[in-house]
C-alpha cells in the first residue's frame, strides 16, 4: 500500500480533518534512511490500516509544513489524534517503536 502524499493545500482536510489517529511521515526522495524505513512503515500500515490514516509529506516540496511542525530531519514520523500532534519519532526506528507511537495516538494515551 502506497502512502498518500499530502501538502499544504490539502493538509487541513486530509490530516487535521481525519477522525481519530493519523501517522504522517515527513520524507525525502533522496533520504537513504527513508528507504530503509519503507518496509517497516509498510508493516505498520498493514497492521493498523483499519485503525488509523497514513500520509506522507515530501519535504522538498512542503517547506511551510516543515516549519509548522519543526521537522529538522528525515524521516520524521508524527502521530496525530483529533488534529493534535501527540508524539514523534525521528530517523531509523524499529517497527515496535513506530507501532507504539501510533497505538498511543489510537488509544489517546499521550
Query: CATH code at 25?
Result: 3.40.30.10
In whole angstroms, give the CA distance from residue 87 to residue 108: 11
Q: How many domains does the chain have?
A: 1
pLDDT for 1 equals 61
Structural domain span for residue 61: 4-107
Task: Give burial (CB, 10 Å; 0-12/13-18/19+) of 49.
Answer: exposed
Residue 64 cell numbers, joined:
511551510
Q: What is the pLDDT of residue 40?
A: 97
pTM listed for this prediction: 0.94
Distance CA 94, CA 110 (A): 19
**Average pLDDT by stretches of 10, the chain with 110 residues:** 89 93 96 96 96 96 94 97 94 97 84
Amino acid at each position: 500500500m502506497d502512502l498518500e502524499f499530502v501538502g499544504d493545500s490539502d493538509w487541513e482536510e486530509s490530516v487535521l480533518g481525519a477522525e481519530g489517529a493519523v501517522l504522517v511521515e515527513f520524507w525525502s526522495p533522496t533520504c537513504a534512511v527513508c528507504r530503509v524505513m519503507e518496509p517497516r512503515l509498510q508493516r505498520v500500515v498493514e497492521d493498523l490500516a483499519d485503525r488509523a490514516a497514513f500520509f506522507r509529506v515530501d519535504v522538498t516540496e512542503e517547506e511551510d509544513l516543515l516549519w509548522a511542525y519543526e521537522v529538522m530531519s528525515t524521516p520524521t514520523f508524527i502521530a496525530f489524534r483529533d488534529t493534535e500532534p501527540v508524539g514523534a519519532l525521528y530517523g531509523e526506528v524499529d517497527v515496535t517503536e513506530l507501532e507504539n507511537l501510533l497505538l498511543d495516538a489510537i488509544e489517546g494515551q499521550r
